[in-house]
Amino acid sequence: MEVKLTDNEHGAVEEESGARQSAWLVIAGIIVIAVAIFIAQNAEDVPIQFLFFEGSVPLWLIIVTALVLGAILGQVFFYLRRRRKRKELKD
């Protein structure tokens, strides 16, 4: 069994075993399978209308786009909030 030593955020050395790596691979595999099933079940085209754009797009693409944009916006707001709090602590 291979053991990796990694530094955590506090400078302590942690062991990362092959079992942990295997668990992450299993989880990643399950996510990939779930995404493939989701895409297959939501492949039909749906009409959309946004400002001057009109057309039809696969439903899965609309949902995934909304999820990605939501995740990006969440990270941006989290970063801005954390930055503001750090600035307040300095003052």
Domain spans of the chain, in order of start: 1-41, 45-91
- Looking at residue 60, its amino acid is W
**Chain segment 2-60, per-residue pLDDT in tens:** 555 565 566 655 566 778 888 889 998 999 899 889 889 988 999 999 898 899 999 99
- Give the pLDDT of residue 58: 92
Displacement of CA 6 from its chain's centroid (Å): 23
Does the predicted TM-score (pTM) go above 0.85?
A: no
**Chain segment 62-91, per-residue pLDDT in tens:** 988 998 999 999 999 999 998 888 888 876
Q: Which string of b and e fits 26-57 if b means at least 16 CB within 10 Å?
A: eeeeeeeeeeeeeeeeeeeeeeeeeeeeeeee
